[in-house]
C-alpha cells in the first residue's frame, strides 16, 4: 500500500475523514435520544465504570481489595482481567439505557453493582443516577460455585430438616476495602468534602443520606454536579475511611495511582514506627485535584450508595433533598426495582415464549427444544452485550509505506483524526474495544432489543471511514484502550479489510423500509431507519467501492484478502487476520494469484445489499443499476462454481499456490566438531510436493460460505452435497456445533508456529454457527428437494449449540470465545459476550 503523502493541501486521503456530515449528527441522534444516553456504564473494560458519551467526561468507578489475602496490592480489582480469576461476573439484567444489575463473584465474597438513571425536569442533562454497591460474604466460601443456579443464590431458600445451626468452621471475619473514585478527564478541579464523606461512610445508615456531597464540581453540559456517598448496610461497626486527591491527566492507570498512594502511606507508617501496617490511602489532596478516591474498609456485609446529581447552579451548594432521596437509599431501591420489572416485561415482549411471554413471534416448540435454563442464559447474554457497550474517544494509529524516489519503501506511523466510538465489545476482559466484523454480529442482537441504540452504533462506525472508504478493523482509541494492547498490534493498515458484516443487518433494514413505504404504514422505527439509510448511502457506497477495488482478485469475479505475508518463514500456513478467520488454512504460499471463496461470498452479500438499499431508497436507476448488475454477476452460480467448486469432492475451496506437504522443523546447525545443535525458532519447510496452483483442500468454515450466504439454488444437487458435508462427524459436525476445520484436514488442530496454538483450526465459533443456523432456516423455508433435510439440520444444530453454551455457562459462569470440538468446553477469552451472546437469538429461535 503505497501512498503519496503530498497529494492534497488537506493531507493525504488516507488520513482524512470521509467528507460530509457525520452520521452521528443526524437529528435522530440528538435531542431526547442523546440526553437519555448521555450517562451509562460505557467503560466495559472495568468491573464497574460510568461515563458520559462525550470526549471529556467525568469518570466514576469502583476498585476493591481484600486486605487479608496474600499480595493484596498486586490484586486490586479494577480493570476486568482474566488473571484476577473471578469465578463469575457480568450483568444479569441491563437495558442499555437506564438500568443494570451486575454480580461479581470474587474469592471470598459477592459484589453486586446495580445502577439506575432518573430523568427529571429539574435534573441536569442525562438525569440523576444512583449506584448501589453491596459486598456480601459467601455463606460457605468456596462451595457456592456458579453451578448453583443464580436464582437459588438470590432467594433465601429454606430446606426442611436443615434448620439446625451447623457448626461453622472458625475463620477470620471477612474485610473488604472498596475504592470509589470520580475523575474529570478535562482536568477540571474537584471539591472534596472529607468531613461529609467520612460521616456518610463510617457509620451505618441510620441517619439516611448525608446532606453534603463527598465530591462536587462543574463541567459542561452538566453545570454544577454532586456525588453523594452513603453507607446502607447495618453492620454495627465503624468503617475506616481514607482518601486521595490527585491532579493528573492520565486516566488509564488509576489502579497504579491507588497502589502508589498506599505505598506512600506505608512509608509514612514505617517512618512513624508503626507496629502494624494498614493498607490505606494517605489522606492527601493535591492542589487542583481532578481525581478523588475514597477508600472504605469494613467488615462484611458492606453496602453503600453513590448518588449523582447535576444541573445545579452552585457546586457544593445545598442539594435538592427530593432529588437526592430519589437516587439513594429506599428511593434508589425503588428505582432499581422498577428498572428490573421493566427489563423483564421487555424481555418477555422481545423474546416471546423463551421468556414465558407471548410476544416476539417465537413458537412454543422453539422453547421446548432448548434446556430449561436457556432463558436465564439468554437474559445474561443479552444483558452483557448491552452492558458491554462502551464509549471511546481518541485516534487510531496507522502504518503507512511510502515509495521514495529510487524505489525504496519507507514506513511511517501516522495518526488519524480524533473521533468517538460508541460500540459493543467482544470481551470486557480481553478485548474491551471495537472490532469491525464482530460489531456486525453484535447488531443482530442489539437491533432486536433497541433499534435506536443499534443505529447510533452503526452511525459511529461509519463515521470512522476515511476519505478512501476504509474503516480500520480494530479500534484502539484513547489512552485507556491503548494501555491494553501490546505495541506491535496497535497500528492499523489502510489496505486491511475485515468482513462487511454490517450488511447482514442493513439490507434487512432497507427491506422493512420498503415494506413500510409500500403499505404507507410508517412507524417511528422505519422512519428513522429510512432517514439513516439515506444519510448513510454515500458511505455505504464508498465502503463497498473500497472493498471492490482494493480486495479485487486476479480474475474477474474473484477476490483476495490483502496482507497475507508471502515472506513468512515460520508460519505453517500464513495467517489472514483480515478475513476474521485468522489462521484458517488457505494456500500454503501466499501470492497475488489467490482467490478467496469467503470474500467472494461476502462481496455477493454486500453487492446485493447495495442494490437492495439503493432501490428501496428510490435512488435514480442509473445509480442503482451497476449494483444490480454486479449482484447478478456475483450470484451467478456457474461462475462461482467455476472459480471455487472442487467437482470431485463437492467442496468449495480457495484457489492458490499450495502444497499439503509442509511441516514446522527446528533448524539444526552442525558445529566444527561435527556435533549438531538446534538453533532458533522452528521454520516452515516443504517436505514433498512443491506448491502448485490449485484449489486448496482444507475443508472448513471458509468452504461453507456459499451456503452461509445462501448463494446455492435450493434445487441444486450441490446444496444436497453441502448439507451432507456439513452433517458429517468426520468433518465439521459435532454434538456442540460446527467445528471450524474438518477433522480430516491436514491442518486440523495444527499449531501455526511453535508459539501459536491452533485458533480457527477446529474450535467451534458461535458467529459462523449462527450464520449456518440461519442458512438452514432459509433453505428449510424455501421449496426444494432439500427442504426437509435443511429443517432437520436447523433443529439439530440449534439444539446442539444452545445446549452446550448453556451447559458451559452453568458449569463455568461464563460465555466463551470458542468451544472445544471434542469436549464442548469453553476456551479462549472469557467472558466473551460479543457474538457468543447470539445464543440469545438462537435460544429464542429468531
Ligand atoms: C491481540 C492481545 C490482552 C480474534 O473478537 C475479536 C477478534 C475477532 O475479530 C477475530 O475474528 N478476535 C478473532 O480471530 C480477538 C482478537 C484480539 C486481538 C488482540 C492483543 C491483547 O491481550
Q: What is the pLDDT of residues 40-50, one digit of tens each?
A: 999 999 999 99
**Mean pLDDT, to the nearest integer, of 264-271?**
96
Task: Please check whether residue 531 is in contact with residue 467, taking contact to mean a CB–CB distance below 8 angstroms.
Answer: no
At residue 301, does pLDDT exceed 90?
yes
Residues 616 and 512: beta-carbon distance below 8 Å: no
> What's the Cα-to-Cα distance from 537 to each of 456, 611, 624, 762, rounded to whole Å?
15, 11, 11, 38
Measure the CA–CA gap between 579 and 703, rounded to whole angstroms.
13
Give nearest CA residue, ligand 1 atom 11: 580
Res 148: pLDDT: 36
Q: DSSP 3-state assignment of 279?
A: coil
Q: Please give the positions annotated as active site.
A: 582, 817
Residue 140 in this model has a pLDDT that exceeds 80: no
Q: Residue by residue, what is the 3-state secondary structure of 493-549? A: CCCCCCCCCHHHHHHHHHHHHHHHHHHCCCCHHHHHHHHHHHHHHHHHHHHHHHHHH
Using the atom order of ligand 1, give the atom closest to the CA of residue 484. 3
**With the C-alpha atoms ordered 696, 701, 707, 711, is the resulting torsion angle positive or negative?**
negative
Q: Categorize the per-residue pLDDT at 156 as very low, low, confident or very high, splitting at 50, 70 and 90.
A: very low
pLDDT band at 153 (very low <50, low <70, confident <90, very high): very low
SS3 140: coil
Condensed to tens digits (0 to 9), the pLDDT of residues 381-392 reads 999 999 999 999
In this prediction, residues 32-37 reach a mean pLDDT of: 97
d(CA 563, CA 428): 28
Distance 682 CA to ligand 1 centre (A): 24
Q: pLDDT digit string (tens) for 671-723? A: 999 999 998 899 999 999 999 999 999 999 999 999 999 999 999 999 999 99
Q: Give pLDDT, residue 563.
A: 86
Q: What is d(CA 602, CA 415) in angstroms, rounded to the nearest whole number?
A: 29
Which residue has the CA at smallest separation from atom 8 of ligand 1?
A: 580
Q: What integer pLDDT is reported at residue 1 of this predicted model?
A: 35
C-alpha cell at 293: 478516591
What DSSP designation does 743 have?
A: T
Q: Phi, psi (5° rounding) for residue 791?
A: -65, -45
Residue 205: its pLDDT value, please? 66
Rounded average pLDDT over 317-322 = 77
Q: Based on DSSP, count helices (H) and strands (E) in the chain, helices before strands.
A: 21, 33
The pLDDT-based confidence of 207 (bands split at 50, 70, 90) is low
**Averaged pLDDT, 59-79:** 96
Average pLDDT over residues 559-565: 95
141-172 residues labelled b (16+ CB within 10 A) or e (exposed) = eeeeebeeebeebeeeeeeeeeeeeeeeeeee
pLDDT of residue 321: 82
Q: Residues 690, 662: contact at Cβ < 8 Å?
A: no
d(CA 418, CA 69): 42
Distance 737 CA to ligand 1 centre (A): 21
Residue at grid coordinates 464497574: 48
Instruction: Give the tens place of pLDDT for each residue, 767-792.
Output: 999 999 999 999 999 999 999 999 99
Distance from Cα 558 to the centre of ligand 1, integer Å: 27
pTM for the whole thing? 0.94
Omega before 831 cis (within 30°)? Answer: yes
User: What Cα–Cα distance (Å) separates residue 554 from each residue in 542, 593, 595?
Assistant: 22, 6, 7
By alpha-carbon position, which residue is closest to atom 19 of ligand 1?
431
Measured by CA distance, the residue closest to atom 16 of ligand 1 is 431
Task: Output the pLDDT for position 361.
Answer: 44
- Label residue 522 left, alpha or beta by phi (over 0 means left) and psi (-120 to 50 means alpha): beta
Atom of ligand 1 nearest to the CA of 427: 5
Q: What residues form DSSP beta bridges with 102?
A: 91, 113
* Whether 614 contacts 513, CB under 8 Å: no
Minimal CA–CA distance to 226: which of 336, 143, 317?
Answer: 317
Centroid of ligand 1 to alpha carbon of 380 (angstroms): 22
ipTM of the shown complex? 0.96
Residue 107: C-alpha distances to residues 77, 144, 708, 816 (Å): 12, 11, 43, 21
Which atom of ligand 1 is found nearest the CA of 767?
A: 11
User: What separation in angstroms does the CA of 357 have from each of 30, 361, 362, 369, 842?
Assistant: 33, 10, 10, 17, 17
Q: What is the pLDDT of residue 146?
A: 47
Q: Taking all residues of the chain, what is their mean pLDDT, rounded to a whole number? A: 92
Nearest CA, atom 3, ligand 1: 430
CA distance 482 to 424: 17
Which of 423, 435, 829 for mutating ligand 1's site (highest number of atoms within 8 Å of CB)?
A: 435
Q: How far apart are CA 131 and CA 328, in angstroms?
A: 8
Query: Which protein residues are within 6 Å of ligand 1, measured from CB?
Result: 426, 430-431, 435, 437-438, 484-486, 489, 580, 582, 834
Q: What is the pLDDT of residue 8?
A: 57
- pLDDT above 90: percentage of residues in the chain: 84
Which atom in ligand 1 lies closest to the alpha carbon of residue 498? 9
Distance 431 CA to ligand 1 centre (A): 6
Residue minimizing CA distance to atom 5 of ligand 1? 426
Q: How far apart are alpha carbons 230 and 196 in whole angstroms? A: 10
For ligand 1, what atom is nearest to the CA of residue 834? 5
Average of per-residue pLDDT across 348-370: 64
pLDDT of 182 = 98
Cβ-contact 763, 819 below 8 angstroms: yes
CA–centroid distance, residue 829 to ligand 1 (Å): 9
The mean pLDDT of 9-36, rounded to a whole number, is 93
Is pLDDT above 90 for 810? yes
Over residues 16-36, the mean pLDDT reads: 97
Confidence of residue 234 (pLDDT cuts 50, 70, 90): confident
Residue located nearest, by CA, to atom 10 of ligand 1: 580
Is residue 356 over pLDDT 70?
A: no
- Position in ligand 1 atom list of the atom nearest CA 582: 14
- 730-751 residue pLDDT tens: 999 999 999 999 999 999 999 9
Given this model, what pLDDT does residue 314 score? 67
181 or 143, which is more confident? 181
Q: What is the tens place of the pLDDT at every residue in 492-523?
A: 999 999 999 999 999 889 889 889 988 999 99
Provide the pLDDT for residue 359.
Answer: 43
CA distances from 277 to 262, 294, 766 (A): 11, 19, 50
CA 455 – ligand 1 centroid, Å: 24
Question: Which atom of ligand 1 is closest in space to residue 438's alpha carbon?
Answer: 9
Q: How many whole angstroms from 759 Cα to the centroid of ligand 1?
A: 11
What is the rounded distance in angstroms from the CA atom of residue 388 to the CA atom of residue 833? 8
Q: Which of 75, 72, 77, 74 is nearest to 61 (CA)?
A: 77
Distances in Å between the Cα of 141 and the Cα atoms of 65, 76, 121, 407 are: 17, 20, 46, 67
Ligand 1: centre distance to CA 757 (Å): 14
What DSSP letter does each residue of 621-650 carry, written as one string?
HHHHHHHHHHHHHHT-HHHHHHHHEETTTT
Q: How many angstroms from the chain centroid is the CA of residue 533?
A: 24
CA atoms within 13 A on the CB side of 409: 7
Which atom in ligand 1 lies closest to the alpha carbon of residue 832? 5
State the Cα–Cα distance between residues 200 and 190, nearest whole angstrom.
18
**Which mutation among 431, 561, 602 tests ligand 1's pocket best, with the greatest number of atoms within 8 A of CB?**
431
Q: Which residues contact 807 (CB under 8 A, 6 or more apart)?
A: 371, 824
Q: Look at ligand 1, atom 18, and give the residue with the nearest C-alpha.
A: 431
Distance separating alpha carbons of residues 443 and 434, to the nearest angstrom: 13
Say how far apart CA 704 and CA 774 lie, in whole Å.
13
CA of 489 to the centre of ligand 1 (A): 10
Classify residue 796 by burial, with Cβ atoms within 10 Å: 0-12, 13-18, 19+: middle
Helices (H), 617-737: 621-634, 637-644, 701-708, 717-727
Amino acid at each position: 500500500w503505497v501512498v503519496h503523502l503530498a497529494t492534497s493541501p488537506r493531507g493525504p486521503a488516507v488520513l482524512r475523514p470521509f467528507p460530509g456530515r457525520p452520521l452521528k449528527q443526524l437529528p435522530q441522534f440528538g435531542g431526547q435520544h442523546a440526553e437519555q444516553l448521555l450517562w451509562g456504564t460505557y467503560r466495559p473494560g472495568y468491573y464497574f465504570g460510568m461515563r458520559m458519551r462525550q470526549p471529556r467526561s467525568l469518570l466514576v468507578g469502583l476498585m476493591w481489595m481484600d486486605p487479608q489475602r496474600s499480595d493484596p496490592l498486586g490484586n486490586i480489582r479494577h480493570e476486568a482481567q482474566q488473571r484476577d480469576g473471578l469465578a463469575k461476573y457480568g450483568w444479569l439484567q441491563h437495558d442499555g439505557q437506564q438500568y443494570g444489575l451486575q454480580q461479581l463473584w470474587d474469592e471470598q465474597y459477592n459484589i453486586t453493582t446495580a445502577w439506575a438513571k432518573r430523568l427529571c425536569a429539574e435534573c441536569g442533562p442525562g438525569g440523576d443516577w444512583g449506584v448501589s454497591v453491596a459486598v456480601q460474604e459467601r455463606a460457605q466460601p468456596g462451595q457456592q460455585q456458579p453451578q448453583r443456579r443464580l436464582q437459588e443464590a438470590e432467594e433465601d431458600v429454606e430446606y426442611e430438616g436443615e434448620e439446625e445451626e451447623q457448626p461453622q468452621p472458625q475463620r477470620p471475619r471477612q474485610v473488604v476495602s472498596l475504592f470509589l473514585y470520580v475523575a474529570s478527564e478535562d482536568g477540571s478541579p474537584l471539591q472534596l468534602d472529607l468531613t461529609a464523606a467520612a460521616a456518610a461512610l463510617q457509620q451505618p445508615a441510620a441517619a439516611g443520606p448525608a446532606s453534603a456531597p463527598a465530591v462536587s464540581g462543574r463541567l459542561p453540559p452538566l453545570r454544577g454536579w454532586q456525588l453523594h456517598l452513603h453507607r446502607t448496610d447495618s453492620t454495627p461497626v465503624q468503617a475506616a475511611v481514607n482518601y486521595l486527591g490527585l491532579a493528573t491527566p492520565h486516566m488509564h492507570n488509576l489502579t497504579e495511582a491507588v497502589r502508589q498512594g498506599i505505598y506512600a502511606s506505608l512509608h509514612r507508617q514505617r517512618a512513624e514506627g508503626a507496629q502494624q501496617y494498614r493498607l490505606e490511602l494517605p489522606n492527601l489532596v493535591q492542589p487542583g485535584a481532578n481525581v478523588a478516591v475514597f477508600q472504605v474498609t469494613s467488615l462484611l456485609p458492606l453496602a453503600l450508595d453513590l448518588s449523582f446529581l447535576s444541573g445545579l447552579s452552585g457546586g457544593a451548594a445545598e442539594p435538592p433533598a427530593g432529588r437526592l432521596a430519589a437516587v439513594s437509599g429506599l428511593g434508589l431501591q425503588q428505582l432499581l426495582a422498577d428498572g428490573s420489572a421493566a427489563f423483564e416485561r421487555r424481555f418477555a415482549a422481545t423474546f416471546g415464549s423463551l421468556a414465558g411471554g407471548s410476544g416476539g413471534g417465537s413458537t412454543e416448540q422453539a422453547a421446548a427444544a432448548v434446556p430449561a435454563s436457556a432463558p436465564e442464559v439468554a437474559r445474561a447474554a443479552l444483558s452483557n452485550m448491552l452492558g458491554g457497550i462502551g464509549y471511546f474517544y481518541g485516534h487510531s494509529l496507522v502504518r503507512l509505506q511510502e515509495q521514495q524516489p529510487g524505489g525504496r519503501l519507507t514506513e511511517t506511523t501516522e495518526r488519524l483524526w480524533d473521533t468517538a466510538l460508541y460500540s459493543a465489545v467482544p470481551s470486557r476482559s480481553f478485548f474491551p474495544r471495537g472490532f469491525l466484523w464482530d460489531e456486525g454480529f453484535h447488531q443482530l442482537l442489539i437491533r432486536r432489543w433497541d433499534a435506536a441504540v443499534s443505529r447510533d452504533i452503526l452511525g459511529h462506525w461509519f463515521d470512522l471511514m476515511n476519505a478512501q472508504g476504509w474503516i480500520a478493523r480494530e479500534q484502539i482509541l484513547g489512552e485507556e484502550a491503548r494501555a491494553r494492547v501490546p505495541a506491535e498490534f496497535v497500528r492499523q493498515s489502510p489496505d486491511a479489510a475485515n468482513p462487511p458484516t454490517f450488511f447482514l443487518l442493513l439490507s434487512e433494514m432497507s427491506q422493512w423500509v420498503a415494506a413500510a413505504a409500500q403499505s404507507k404504514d410508517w412507524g417511528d422505527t422505519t422512519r428513522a431507519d429510512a432517514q439513516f439509510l439515506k444519510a448513510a448511502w454515500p458511505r455505504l457506497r464508498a465502503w463497498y467501492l473500497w472493498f471492490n477495488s482494493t480486495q479485487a482478485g486476479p480474475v474477474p469475479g474473484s477476490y483476495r484478502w490483502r496482507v497475507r505475508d508471502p515472506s513468512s518463514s515460520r508460519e505453517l500456513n500464513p495467517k489472514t487476520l483480515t478475513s476474521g478467520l485468522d489462521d484458517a488454512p488457505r494456500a500454503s504460499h501466499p501470492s497475488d494469484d489467490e482467490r478467496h471463496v469467503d470474500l467472494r461470498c461476502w462481496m455477493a452479500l454486500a453487492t446485493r445489499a447495495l442494490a437492495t438499499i439503493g432501490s428501496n431508497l428510490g435512488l435514480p436507476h442509473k445509480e442503482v443499476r451497476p449494483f444490480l448488475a454486479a449482484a447478478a454477476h456475483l450470484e451467478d452460480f456457474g461462475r462461482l462454481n467455476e472459480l471455487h467448486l472442487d467437482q470431485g469432492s463437492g467442496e468449495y475451496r480457495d484457489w492458490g499456490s499450495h502444497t499439503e506437504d509442509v511441516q514446522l522443523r527446528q533448524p539444526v546447525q552442525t558445529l566444527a566438531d561435527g556435533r549438531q545443535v538446534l538453533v532458533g525458532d522452528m521454520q516452515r519447510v516443504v517436505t514433498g510436493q512443491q506448491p502448485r496452483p490449485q484449489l486448496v483442500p482444507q475443508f472448513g468454515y471458509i468452504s461453507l460460505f456459499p451456503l452461509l450466504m445462501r448463494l446455492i439454488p435450493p434445487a441444486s444437487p450441490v446444496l444436497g452435497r453441502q448439507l451432507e458435508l456439513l452433517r458429517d462427524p468426520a468433518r465439521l459436525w459435532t454434538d456442540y456445533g460446527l467445528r471450524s476445520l474438518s477433522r480430516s484436514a491436514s491442518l486440523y488442530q495444527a499449531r501455526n508456529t511453535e508459539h501459536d496454538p491452533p485458533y480457527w483450526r477446529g474450535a467451534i465459533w458461535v458467529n459462523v454457527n449462527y450464520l449456518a443456523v440461519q442458512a438452514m432456516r432459509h433453505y428449510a423455508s424455501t421449496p426444494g428437494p432439500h427442504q426437509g433435510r435443511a429443517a432437520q439440520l436447523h433443529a439439530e444444530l440449534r439444539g446442539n449449540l444452545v445446549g452446550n453454551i448453556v451447559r458451559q455457562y452453568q458449569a463455568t459462569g461464563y460465555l466463551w470465545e470458542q468451544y472445544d470440538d471434542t469436549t464442548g468446553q469453553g476456551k479462549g477469552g472469557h467472558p466473551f459476550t460479543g457474538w457468543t451472546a447470539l445464543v440469545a437469538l438462537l435460544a429464542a429461535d429468531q
